[in-house]
C-alpha cells in the first residue's frame, strides 16, 4: 500500500467514512506516481481511473469524492471534464455522439455570409458547436466573453471556464469550433468598434472579410451570445440569450426547421405624387371666410396660453421622478 500524502488526510477534509477510503486511494496513487492530489488535472484523474479499474458506479463515486474535495479546497473539480463524463456514462456518450454527428451535418448548411442570414448563422453555429461539446443549455446561456480564450495558435483548443469549472473544447475536422468561435467574435469586435448594424449589414452584403476584429475578451463581462431581431439588430444594452431561446435555436436547427431569416418586405412607395386639386379658374369664397379664420386663431391663442406653463410643470415633475429613481438605485447598489 502506498503511503498517504501528509497534510491531506481524508479525516481532515470532513469526508464521510465511506468516502475516506476513496480519497486515501487517490492520494496513495498520486504519491506513487509523484503527482500532487490537489489540484489534480482531468488527465491525471483519467489515469487514476484507468490504473484502478472498477464498476461504473464505483468509478462515478470516486470521481464525485475527488470533485468534492477539490471544491472544498477552492479548486476546479477535475471530474467535470467532458471526456471523463462520457467515459463514465455510456448513455451520455452515445447521445452526444449522435448529436455531434447531426451538428456536423447541419453546420454545412448554415450560411456565414449574406444579410442578415450570415449574422444569425455565425451565432447559431457557435451555439450548435457548444451543444455538441456536451455543455448544457443553461451553461451556454451563462457564458460571458471572458469565459472563452482563443490562443494565438489557431490549431490549439479553446480555453473555456464556466462557473470556475474548466471545460475542454477540442477541435475536430467535423466541428471546427475554433474557427466557428472566431467568426462570431469577429462580429462582436466589429460591432464594438462601429456601433452600427447598418455598417455590419454593408459588410455582409458586400461579402467583406471581418478577420482581425476578433479580440481576447479576458476581462469583458458582457454576454457572449445575444438576441438578434428580424432586421439583424442586436440590443444596445448587453442582454444574453436565455436558456430557453438557446434550446429552441438548437432544436430548430437539428430538426431541419430553422427559419430562413429573410428581411421583411419593404413598403412600396407610389411612383407618382398624389393628384392635387387644380386651382385654375375663379373659385368663389364664402363671404364669412376671413372672419371665421380670424376667430379660430384668436380662440387657439387663448386656449394655448397656458401650454408653456404646463410643459414646464411636466418637465419639473420628470426631473423630480428621475432624482427619486436615482436615489433608489443608489440605495440598491
Q: Domain segments of the chain: what residues?
A: 11-88, 96-254
0.75 exceeded by pTM: no
Q: Residue 47: what pLDDT?
A: 87
Q: Residue 235: what pLDDT?
A: 87
Q: Residue 217: what pLDDT?
A: 63
Q: Residue 118: what pLDDT?
A: 94
**Pick from 139, 165, 166, 161: nearest CA to 246:** 139
Q: Residue 95: what pLDDT?
A: 78
Q: Which three cell numbers stand for residue 148?
A: 472563452
Q: Which three cell numbers stand for residue 97?
A: 455522439
Range 96-254 has CATH code 1.10.443: yes
What's the distance, CA 41 to chain centroid? Answer: 27
Q: Residue 14: what pLDDT?
A: 76
Range 11-88 has CATH code 1.10.150.130: yes
Q: Which three cell numbers stand for residue 283?
A: 373659385
In three-state form (DSSP H/G/I as H, E/B as E, the rest C), the secondary structure along 212-261 is: CCCCCCCCCCCECCCCCCCCCCCCCCCCCCCHHHHHHHHHHHHCCCCCCC
Q: From CA 208, how far away is CA 201, in angstroms rounded?
A: 10
Strand-pairing partners, residue 158, are 169
Low-confidence residues of the chain: pLDDT under 50: 1-7, 11, 333
Amino acid at each position: 500500500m502506498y503511503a498517504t500524502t501528509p497534510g491531506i488526510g481524508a479525516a481532515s477534509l470532513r469526508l464521510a467514512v465511506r468516502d475516506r477510503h476513496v480519497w486515501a486511494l487517490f492520494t496513495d496513487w498520486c504519491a506513487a506516481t509523484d503527482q500532487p492530489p490537489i489540484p489534480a488535472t482531468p488527465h491525471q484523474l483519467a489515469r487514476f481511473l484507468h490504473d484502478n479499474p472498477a464498476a461504473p458506479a464505483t468509478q462515478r463515486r470516486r470521481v464525485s469524492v475527488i470533485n468534492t474535495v477539490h471544491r472544498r479546497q477552492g479548486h476546479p473539480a477535475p471530474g467535470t471534464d467532458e471526456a471523463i463524463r462520457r467515459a463514465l456514462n455510456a448513455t451520455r456518450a452515445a447521445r452526444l455522439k449522435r448529436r455531434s454527428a447531426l451538428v456536423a451535418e447541419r453546420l454545412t448548411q448554415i450560411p456565414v455570409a449574406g444579410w442578415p442570414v450570415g449574422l444569425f448563422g455565425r451565432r447559431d453555429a457557435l451555439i450548435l458547436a457548444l451543444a455538441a461539446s456536451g455543455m448544457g443549455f443553461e451553461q451556454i446561456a451563462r457564458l460571458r466573453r471572458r469565459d472563452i480564450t482563443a490562443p494565438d495558435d489557431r490549431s490549439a483548443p479553446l480555453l473555456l471556464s464556466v462557473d470556475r469549472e474548466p471545460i475542454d473544447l477540442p477541435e475536430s475536422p467535423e466541428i471546427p469550433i475554433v474557427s466557428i468561435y472566431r467568426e462570431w467574435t469577429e462580429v462582436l469586435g466589429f460591432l464594438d468598434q462601429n456601433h452600427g448594424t447598418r455598417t455590419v449589414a454593408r459588410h455582409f452584403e458586400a461579402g467583406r472579410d471581418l478577420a482581425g476584429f476578433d479580440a481576447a475578451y479576458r476581462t469583458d463581462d458582457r454576454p457572449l451570445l445575444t438576441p438578434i431581431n428580424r432586421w439583424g439588430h442586436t440590443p444596445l444594452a448587453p442582454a444574453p440569450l436565455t436558456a430557453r431561446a438557446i434550446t429552441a435555436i438548437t432544436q430548430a436547427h437539428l430538426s431541419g426547421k430553422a427559419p430562413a431569416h429573410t428581411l421583411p418586405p419593404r413598403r412600396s412607395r407610389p411612383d407618382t405624387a398624389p393628384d392635387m386639386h387644380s386651382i385654375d379658374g375663379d373659385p368663389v369664397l364664402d363671404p364669412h371666410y376671413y372672419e371665421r379664420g380670424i376667430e379660430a386663431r384668436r380662440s387657439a391663442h387663448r386656449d394655448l396660453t397656458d401650454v408653456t406653463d404646463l410643459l414646464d410643470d411636466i418637465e419639473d415633475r420628470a426631473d423630480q421622478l428621475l432624482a427619486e429613481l436615482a436615489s433608489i438605485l443608489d440605495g440598491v447598489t
